[in-house]
């Protein structure tokens, strides 16, 4: 097990290198030059050449990448050309916002999906099953931003500003700078709509997958055996059926991480949250090379680490699965 985890951790490195390298090359093929936007109206050819030299933009792309990488291993994520701020600092300010959003939305998804899938599966073809599957079908067909807009209409405008439509309030203790406001209630108010907007779609998808695999598992012999030996329905469903049904579901949820990142970008944009999603999209559109690299790095890292966690979850769900 330990060698397996070590092996996987070593595999993470090339994947991250590859993703960041491809992003690096792609961003530099984007039409437009950050130096032009940096100099703005004061643009002269001489200043532009000086600026390119100062930021190392005149060197070959591969050389530039290795310079970035060399600084990275020393803990320097580079400095934004446009804002002049260190990238790592910005990422650290925005990370807690996105982390909270994603963790809560996954919580919302699990809280809705697991009961809905269990009810749908053990009462297959009854009204409760039809209701669960219909709602799930509607849920997978609504894009996150439209759910968000509906929430805005109901809770922010309809209920006279019950929940704030945009912005952010940090949890006490997570506030990265001196200027941001922090309160538990304020944080809850700000995170509720985004977390549900992002979570509802995942919940719908999870319900559909989990219900389908529950239906398969419930018909297996070990579930019949568990019932036959006199186990109560509850442990049969929760310990024998659910745990095994979760395996294929976890796989697909792992594959969904890419969509979750997109969802975070969209939801953060809609609710004007100062998270990594808005950081990334703003950086990409402004062609802020260094910030985009920082965003790609942390996204790639999250992506591979979550996929590793998915694989490790299997051993918990099914102890027969062992990694040599």
Residues found near another protein in the complex (CB under 8 A): 15, 18-19, 22-23, 26-27, 29-31, 137-138, 140-143, 145-146, 149-150, 152-153, 157, 165, 212, 257-259, 261-262, 265-266, 269-270, 280-281, 284-285, 287, 296, 299-300, 303
Nearer to another protein, 49 or 159 (CB): 159
What minimum distance in Å lies between the beta carbon of 271 and another protein?
Answer: 10
Nearer to another protein, 150 or 231 (CB): 150
What minimum distance in Å lies between the beta carbon of 142 and another protein?
Answer: 5
CA dist., res. 308 & res. 302, Å (int): 10
What minimum distance in Å lies between the beta carbon of 172 and another protein?
Answer: 30
What minimum distance in Å lies between the beta carbon of 47 and another protein?
Answer: 25
What minimum distance in Å lies between the beta carbon of 284 and another protein?
Answer: 6
Nearer to another protein, 171 or 286 (CB): 286
CA dist., res. 92 & res. 37, Å (int): 25
What minimum distance in Å lies between the beta carbon of 299 and another protein?
Answer: 6
Nearer to another protein, 226 or 270 (CB): 270
Of 202, 216, 200, 215, the closest CA to residue 250 belongs to 202
Neighbouring C-beta atoms of residue 16, cutoff 10 Å = 19
Nearer to another protein, 23 or 97 (CB): 23
Nearer to another protein, 176 or 248 (CB): 248
Query: What residues pair up with 182 in beta bridges, in sequence order?
Result: 170
Is residue 246 classed exposed, middle or buried when 0-12, 13-18 and 19+ CB atoms within 10 A define those classes? Answer: buried
Neighbouring C-beta atoms of residue 322, cutoff 10 Å = 10
CA dist., res. 25 & res. 15, Å (int): 15
Nearer to another protein, 102 or 226 (CB): 102
Query: What residues pair up with 86 in beta bridges, in sequence order?
Result: 79
What minimum distance in Å lies between the beta carbon of 71 and another protein?
Answer: 22
CA dist., res. 20 & res. 300, Å (int): 8
CA dist., res. 80 & res. 94, Å (int): 15
Residue 271: strand, helix, or coil:
coil
CB 113 within 8 A of CB 210: yes
Q: Which helix (H) or strand (E) holds 162?
A: none
Rounded to the nearest 10 degrees, the angle between the axes of helix 257-270 and helix 243-255 is 60
């Amino acid at each position: 097990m330990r060698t397996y985890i070590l092996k996987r951790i070593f595999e993470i490195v090339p994947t991250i290198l590859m993703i960041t390298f491809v992003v690096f090359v792609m961003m530099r093929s984007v039409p437009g030059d950050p130096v032009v936007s940096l100099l703005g109206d004061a643009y002269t050819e001489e200043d532009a050449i000086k600026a390119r030299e100062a930021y190392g933009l005149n060197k070959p792309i591969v050389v530039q990448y290795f310079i970035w990488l060399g600084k990275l291993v020393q803990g320097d994520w580079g400095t934004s050309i446009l804002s002049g701020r260190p990238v790592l600092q910005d990422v650290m300010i925005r990370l807690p916002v996105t982390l909270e959003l994603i963790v809560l939305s996954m919580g919302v998804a699990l809280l809705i999906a697991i009961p809905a899938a269990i009810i749908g599966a053990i009462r297959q073809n009854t009204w409760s099953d039809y209701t669960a599957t219909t709602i799930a079908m509607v849920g997978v067909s609504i894009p996150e931003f439209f759910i968000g807009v509906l929430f805005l209409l109901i809770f922010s405008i309809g209920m006279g500003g019950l929940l704030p439509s945009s912005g952010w309030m940090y949890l006490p203790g997570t506030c990265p700078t001196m200027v941001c406001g922090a309160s538990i209630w304020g944080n809850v108010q700000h995170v509720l709509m985004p977390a549900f907007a992002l979570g509802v779609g995942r919940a719908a998808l999870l319900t559909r997958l989990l219900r389908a695999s529950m239906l398969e598992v419930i018909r297996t012999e070990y579930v019949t055996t568990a019932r036959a030996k006199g186990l109560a329905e509850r442990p049969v469903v929760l310990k024998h059926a659910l745990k095994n049904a979760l395996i294929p579901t976890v796989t697909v949820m792992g594959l969904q991480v890419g969509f979750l990142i997109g969802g975070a970008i969209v939801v953060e944009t809609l609710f004007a949250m100062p998270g990594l999603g808005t950081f990334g999209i703003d950086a990409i559109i402004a062609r802020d090379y260094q910030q985009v690299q920082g965003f790609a790095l942390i996204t790639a890292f999250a992506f591979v680490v979550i996929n590793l966690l998915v694989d490790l979850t299997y051993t918990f769900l099914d102890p027969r699965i062992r990694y040599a």
